[in-house]
């Protein structure tokens, strides 16, 4: 919860800074243009000290307004945001800040089936859908996870590596995620929502993706699967398994590579229907 509050505060502060910087830059340009206009008039009219005074005043005000946004831009280029995270991004934060589209790729999609938060996940999705209906803004959801029937043997082998034993944990997690996504689809049908495209698919290829992916409006987080480590802090006996690190992918080429990979998987294993609450 503390991480959510911290991220919301950081996000709000960054948005306010960008908003103020944008208007400061615009006003600064306006004042500089006005000073140039005064200079042009000086060339056509008789020179007087009063005109020079106003021109100098406009130049100084314009320069003062331009300095902060330029400083913020340089700062953003030099001190880039850290790309490593101690854990996966909080689902609540991501959904609340989502504008148009959310993708999730993984083996069982922990963000969906996690017992303490699964009902919260459903309510957040349905609230986002309700808001989109009111504003008549289209939103899209795409979820891609392992097929628990076709890949049962593979999933059991992975569980054996992660947990040291097999109790069908990962298979059960996949089934829980599918159940929750189906419940959301049912709710969408009952609501008769027109401005949502809710889709999920299950991949059946024995070569599992080697990473988890969360993509929200072009902002991408990737969690690589490391040997003997789950993509989240799974309880194993009395201990808590160490989670694989998560990375925010900010490089455009790298982000596009992951997007292409997801889209290729989606073409093969995504739904074929084009209904509002797609299968």
Residue 3 has pLDDT above 80, yes or no: no
Question: What is the token pair recorded at 259?
Answer: 């997007």
Calculate the average pLDDT of the chain.
78
Q: Find where tokens 């809710």 sit.
A: 198
Alpha-carbon distance of 43 to 40, in angstroms, equals 5
Helices (H), 45-168: 49-78, 91-97, 110-113, 118-135, 152-163
Alpha-carbon distance of 171 to 84, in angstroms, equals 29
pLDDT band at 75 (very low <50, low <70, confident <90, very high): low
CA separation, residue 211 to residues 30, 70, 81, 226, 265 (Å) = 49, 37, 22, 9, 13
Pairing of strands 219-224, 211-216: antiparallel
Q: What number is the average pLDDT over the span 16-43?
A: 78
pLDDT of residue 37: 75
pTM of the model: 0.67
**Element (DSSP H or E) covering residue 14:** helix 2-44
pLDDT of residue 2: 45
Superfamily of domain 84-269: Endonuclease Chain A (3.30.870.10)
pLDDT of residue 78: 55
Of 40 and 136, the structure prediction assigns the larger pLDDT to 136
CA separation, residue 219 to residues 3, 30, 72, 211, 259 (Å) = 18, 33, 21, 16, 11
Residue 104 has pLDDT above 50, yes or no: yes
Nearest to 103 by CA among 142, 129, 140, 138: 142
Going by the DSSP 8-state scheme, the letter that residue 85 receives in this structure is E
Q: What number is the average pLDDT over the span 47-66?
A: 70
Cβ 239 vs Cβ 230: under 8 Å: no
Residue 142 has pLDDT above 50, yes or no: yes
Range name among 29-38, 57-66, 145-154, 228-237 with the lowest pLDDT average? 228-237
Going by the DSSP 8-state scheme, the letter that residue 139 receives in this structure is E
CA separation, residue 208 to residues 64, 222, 254, 263 (Å) = 55, 15, 20, 15
**In the chain, where the domains are located:** 2-78, 84-269
Alpha-carbon distance of 57 to 20, in angstroms, equals 22
Q: What is the dihedral of CA 130, 123, 224, 268, to 10 degrees?
A: -50
pLDDT of residue 190: 87
pLDDT band at 139 (very low <50, low <70, confident <90, very high): very high
pLDDT band at 274 (very low <50, low <70, confident <90, very high): very low
Alpha-carbon distance of 187 to 37, in angstroms, equals 61
Q: Which of 85-89, 156-160, 239-243 has the highest mean pLDDT?
A: 156-160
| pLDDT tens-digit readout, 171-219 | 999 999 999 999 999 999 888 888 999 999 999 877 777 888 999 998 8
Alpha-carbon distance of 203 to 266, in angstroms, equals 9
* First and final C-alpha spacing in the chain: 33
pLDDT of residue 240: 46
- Beta bridge mates, 200: 143
Of 170 and 36, the structure prediction assigns the larger pLDDT to 170
Cβ 233 vs Cβ 176: under 8 Å: no
pLDDT band at 86 (very low <50, low <70, confident <90, very high): low
Of 52 and 230, the structure prediction assigns the larger pLDDT to 52
């Amino acid at each position: 919860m503390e991480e959510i509050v911290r991220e919301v505060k950081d996000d709000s502060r960054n948005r306010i800074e960008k908003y103020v910087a944008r208007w400061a830059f615009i006003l600064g340009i306006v004042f500089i243009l006005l000073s140039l206009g005064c200079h042009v008039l000086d060339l056509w009219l008789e020179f007087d000290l009063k005109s020079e005074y106003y021109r100098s005043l406009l130049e100084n005000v314009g320069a003062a307004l331009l300095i902060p946004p330029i400083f913020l831009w340089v700062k953003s280029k030099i001190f880039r945001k850290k790309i490593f995270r101690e854990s996966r991004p909080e689902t609540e934060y991501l959904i609340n800040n989502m504008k148009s589209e959310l993708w999730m790729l993984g083996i069982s999609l922990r963000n969906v089936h996690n017992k303490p938060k699964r009902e919260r996940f459903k309510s957040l999705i349905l609230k986002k859908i309700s808001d989109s209906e009111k504003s008549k803004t289209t939103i899209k959801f795409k979820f891609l996870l392992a097929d628990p029937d076709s890949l049962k043997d593979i999933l059991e082998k992975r569980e054996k590596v992660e947990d040291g034993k097999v109790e069908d944990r990962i298979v059960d997690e996949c089934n829980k995620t599918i159940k929750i996504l189906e419940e959301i689809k049912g709710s969408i049908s009952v609501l008769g929502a027109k401005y949502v495209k809710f889709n999920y698919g299950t991949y059946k290829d024995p070569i599992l993706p080697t990473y988890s992916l969360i993509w929200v409006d072009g902002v991408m987080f990737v969690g690589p699967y490391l040997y003997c480590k789950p993509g989240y802090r799974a309880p194993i006996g009395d201990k808590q398994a160490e989670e694989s690190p998560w990375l925010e992918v900010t490089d455009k080429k790298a982000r596009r590579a992951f997007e292409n990979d997801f889209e290729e998987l989606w073409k093969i294993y995504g739904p074929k229907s084009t209904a509002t609450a797609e299968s």
